[in-house]
A = this chain, B = another copy of it.
Amino acid sequence: MNVFTSIKDVKEPEALVALALKVKNNPGVFGSYGKLKTLGLVFFNPSLRTRLSTQKAALNLGMQVVILNINSDSWILEMEDGAIMNGNAQEHIREAAAVLSQYCDIIGVRTFAQFNSRAEDYGEFILQKFIRFSSVPILSLESATLHPLQSLADWMTITEQQRTERPKVVLSWAPHPKILPQAVANSFVEWMRIAHVDLTVTFPKEIDLAPSYLKGISVTHNQEKAMENADFVYAKNWSSFSNYGKGTSSFQDWKIDERKMALTHNAYFMHCLPVRRNVVVSDGVLDSDHSLVLEQANNRTYAAQAVLLKMLGYEG
């Protein structure tokens, strides 16, 4: 696997889920597969789960890990082609990515939507520069519009917990005080449409997702209706695709609470974390024994480990 930025980069998604579950069962089994191989992790943004789980995944494979926090450890990067660099930027992404490729066998990159321009975010401006200018595989640790390692971990979690052959999975928008990207939602839809689930997406119609992601997916703007018979409820805030970069303080009643969960088929609750308690979801739901958020976080390690294994050339 030469790049991992979307499910489109994965030839056999189900086999990848199976590999991740196999690795989880025995984390040390490929413990020397990464010997003398170096994973570079480049962070443009804060991170807890991604930082720790990806590092652990690489160490489990015997890889070396080097970390670069752009904006604190390193130089200010120029992103524009042809720039005359007489301002603040000290190094061009061309050199940064190419030099990282000298030291690393795989580069993981964590970026975030900038909300300056929808075209730029959806063109994955920064991530694509890394892909273009590096000479080694690029692993997305979340990009402006997708978060594939999260979705892989989510798929693992659903596989482990499903009680029916084809569970009903609901992705529900939920309120949040800040303007957040659509990455987790886009990615979840992209992966779940391949999985053996019935997916319903629900959100206030003012806070839509990109039509291309929703094509052929069951959508409703009635959250309570969506919850009916759900086996899994995945809550996540995002900001509007149409009204890009704008937030809202409306729809506080879309918070997931015990009353809404009671409408479901005794559903499991899912969220990628970090989560705003009592804004996105009530304490009661999050702390219940039907909350899978920690298992989702745990599976991030093995999702990353499976993808790294494929990038290292593992054929199994």
Q: Once the chains bind, are B74 and A46 in contact (CB under 8 Å)?
A: yes
The interface bits of chain A over 48-76 (1 if a CB of B lies within 8 angstroms of the residue's CB, else 0) are 11011101100110001010110011110
Is the beta-carbon distance between A36 and B60 smaller than 8 angstroms? yes
- Set B43, B55, B73, B278: member contacting A47, Cβ < 8 A: B73
Q: Which residues of chain B are within 8 angstroms of A85 by Cβ–Cβ distance? A: 276-279
Query: Is residue A141 contacting chain B, with contact meaning CB distance below 8 A?
Result: no
Task: With A87-B177, A99-B273 as known contacts, state yes or no: A56 contacts B38, CB within 8 Å.
Answer: yes
Contact present for A277 and B92 (CB under 8 Å): yes
**A92 surroundings in chain B (CB, below 8 A):** 274-275, 277
**20 contacting pairs across A/B (C-beta < 8 A):** A31-B36, A38-B56, A38-B59, A46-B72, A48-B99, A48-B100, A51-B68, A52-B103, A53-B102, A69-B73, A82-B278, A83-B278, A84-B277, A85-B279, A86-B276, A87-B177, A99-B273, A99-B297, A102-B294, A102-B297
Least Cβ distance of A231 to chain B in Å? Answer: 23
| A47-B73, A86-B279, A274-B91 known; A52+B36 contact, CB < 8 A | no
